[in-house]
Amino acid sequence: MEEYRKLNFPSITLRATRQGGSVSVWDAVRQQYVVLTPEEWVRQHVVAWLMDSYALLPVQIIIEYPVEINGTHQRADVVVVDKSGAPLLVVECKEADVDFSREDVLSEVYAQAVRYNATIHAPQIMITNGLRHFCFRTDDFCTYQPTRELVF
């Protein structure tokens, strides 16, 4: 399997297979193999961390959650829902090479998560490139305040 950068999450073990010219990994949430891309590497770490750290069940995590914005079909990387299906968290994942030290890049990714959440209505959003993570809370879906931890 191709070597990917160590992320700022606990290490995980992935079940991998080579299919054609690419590597696919088993996604326990989607119950299928998915092509391992640099962004998927981050997403798999985020999902494992959420399940391990917050005791979330796979049914509480929706990967590639459909979102319609201005008539365009888009997908939020990860949405966490409570046991009744109400959204709790929107996570936007970027590959580790996306430079979050650049204010314009960070601002663009933050704006993307906020746009998704304008439709989803979760009280929390998180953006991550696997190395740096930023979490925010909102009460009104217009104003977001940075937070150090997620609450479920």
Does residue 67 fall inside a structural domain? yes
Whether the model pTM is above 0.85: yes
For the segment 75-95, what is each residue's pLDDT rounded down to a tens digit? 999 999 999 999 999 999 999
In a domain, 132, yes or no: yes
What is the structure's pLDDT at 2?
Answer: 60
Q: Considering Cα of 149, then 78, then 44, then 132, what sign does the dihedral take?
A: negative
pLDDT tier, 67 (very low <50, low <70, confident <90, very high otherwise)? very high
Domain of 22: which CATH number?
A: 3.90.1570.30
Q: What's the confidence (pLDDT) of residue 20?
A: 82
- Count the domains in the chain: 1
Structural domain for 110, as ranges? 16-147
Tell me the pLDDT tens digit for each residue of 89-136: 999 999 999 999 999 999 999 999 999 999 999 999 999 999 999 999
Residue 98: CB partners within 8 Å, gap ≥ 6? 105, 109, 129
Q: Are 77 and 93 in contact (CB under 8 A)?
A: yes
- Output the average pLDDT for the chain: 94
Q: Is residue 51 part of a domain?
A: yes
**Phi, psi at residue 123, to the nearest 5°?**
-75, -5
Per-residue model confidence (pLDDT) at position 3: 77
What is the Cα–Cα distance from 17 to 20, expressed in whole angstroms?
Answer: 10
The verdict on residue 7 lying in a domain is no
